[in-house]
Structure 1
Amino acid sequence: MNAGLDEAGRGPVIGPMFLALCVSDRPEELTEMGVADSKSFGSGEAARRARRRICHELFSRCELRWIQIPAAVIDAHVEGGPGLNELERRAAECLLRQVRPLRRIVADGKTLFTSLAGKFPQLIAVNAADRDFPEVAAASIVAKTFRDDWMQAYERFARSRGFELRGGGYPNGPTMAYIQEWERRFGVPPPHLRRSWKFRKRQMELF
């Protein structure tokens, strides 16, 4: 059995990061299903629906594991802790220890995951692995689908408080406007904000 490992939500300033593991011995079947790098689907509702459809099918055809890493845990590791890379490696190790012995593990991120080969000799870490290894692309779709679903729920929460949140939680203009308006109105940062991000620290200096 082969496995692919990938994440979604490493860069946003709002919300958790998801890491997913897909175990499969039939990469050609994944390709026939339409599995591809999650980013290749684009953005928008049509892309989310396409990824979600494939994600649901993967649950019936593969062994899947995933982990959600909340913003507060990310902050604890970034500020005075071992850092985000080490947090992601520990999460990956946790997933890998949950599955049966594997013939090959492909992880997306050469610098990030190469050191795990000391514990998992069958692991290879490759940059842009989600483009060349279907099992990694499948993991990217699972992680991205969970991140999309979480973000959509958060956007509904924001609307219920009178905010229109755009930008997917990434450090961009719409997200900055949401953070600033929330703090202006309530005097505290919005929920699930990654306070350790450099983007956030620069914002605090400016405002």
Structure 2
Amino acid sequence: MNCNTGKAMPGLIAGIDEAGRGPVLGPMAVAIVAIEEDKVLREIGVRDSKQLSSRRRRELSIAIRQSCECAVELIEPVTIDRWVAEGGLNRLEERAFARLITQLAPTVAFIDSPELDGEKVGHRVSTHLPPGMDCQIIAQTKADQNIPVVAAASILAKEAREAAMERLKDELGDCGSGYPSDEQTITFLKQYRRERGKWPPGTRKSWKTLKRIEQKVTLDDFGENDG
């Protein structure tokens, strides 16, 4: 998904963030926002998406798309599962970061780092850029709280993740937010597994949450049969 307003220009500063890293259901969204200076983002009140109401987040996402270069990538559960098994979720994110940087070619890219050692994250991302691409990469934890252009990326990523979940709900019914902490999601997964003997589309099968649900379903069924 790309919302570029035109060809990227030299001097762009970019922010990159993800949404949906932890859910057991649905994709992860990774977004990049780039602009020549972040004054406009400060003026419209951009903040980390977690600090915004859904209504305000939608309003800001429209304003961001109108004033910035941006792109969003959805990473589906099947890809997430493969990387969890083979290389780890952080390595998957780093490659996605590099693809987005390649699309917009900013001079500087700030990343909300998935690891405390942001320097190592930035270095690994740089190794996935095309030869000759000159972009300074700065990865920091809590960058979405401290750097407006990263906060803007967090808003677009969250909106993309929410839209994907709405499409999944159209297919499956009310499955909640997709997070393991959401009782509606866990209840939905238990019921789906019990009734159909498999996990629903969009499930991250590498998540330990499913093992706990499987054990609970087995124990519940055993108790019913025993009674």
Q: TM-score range by the shorter chain?
A: 0.7 to 0.9
After superposition, the Cα gap between the structure-2 partners of 1:98 and 1:182, relative to the gap in structure 1 and judged at 3 Å, is: same
Verify: 1:61 aligned to 2:67, yes or no.
yes
Equivalent runs, 1:134-145 vs 2, <5 Å: 134-145=148-159
Instruction: Say what the alpha-carbon RMSD is for the aligned residues.
Output: 1.7
Which deviations, in whole Å up to 9, do the C-alpha atoms of 1:104-125 show, x marking residues without a partner?
A: 2110014463333644661111
Which deviations, in whole Å up to 9, do the C-alpha atoms of 1:177-200 show, x marking residues without a partner?
A: 100101122221111000101212
Verify: 1:129 aligned to 2:143, yes or no.
yes
Moved over 4 A (4+): none
Letter matched to residue 140 of structure 2: V
Which deviations, in whole Å up to 9, do the C-alpha atoms of 1:7-39 show, x marking residues without a partner?
A: 000000000000000001221110111210000
2-structure distance, mates of 1:156, 1:20: 24
1-structure distance, mates of 2:167, 2:59: 18
Which deviations, in whole Å up to 9, do the C-alpha atoms of 1:60-103 show, x marking residues without a partner?
A: 11000111000011011112x11111111111111111113x23
Q: What corresponds to 1:202 in structure 2?
A: 212
23, 32, 36: which one pairs with 1:25?
Answer: 36
2-structure distance, mates of 1:184, 1:146: 30
Which is higher, the Rg of structure 1 or of structure 2? 2
Whether contact under 8 Å (1:36, 1:134) holds in the other structure is yes
Structure 1 unaligned segments of length 5 or more: list them. 42-46
Letter matched to residue 13 of structure 2: N
Normalising by structure 2, report the TM-score.
Answer: 0.80
Q: Which moved more, 1:116-125 or 1:169-178?
A: 116-125
Structure 2 unaligned segments of length 5 or more: list them. 1-11, 128-133, 219-227
Verify: 1:82 aligned to 2:87, yes or no.
yes
Verify: 1:114 aligned to 2:114, yes or no.
no
The structure with higher relative contact order (CA 8 Å, sep 6+) is: 1
2-structure distance, mates of 1:53, 1:40: 14
Which deviations, in whole Å up to 9, do the C-alpha atoms of 1:146-194 show, x marking residues without a partner?
A: 11111122223333xxxx332x100022211100101122221111000
Identical residues among aligned pairs (%): 36
Give the count of matched residue pairs. 195
2-structure distance, mates of 1:125, 1:131: 13
Whether contact under 8 Å (1:36, 1:138) holds in the other structure is yes
2-structure distance, mates of 1:158, 1:111: 39
2-structure distance, mates of 1:139, 1:87: 18
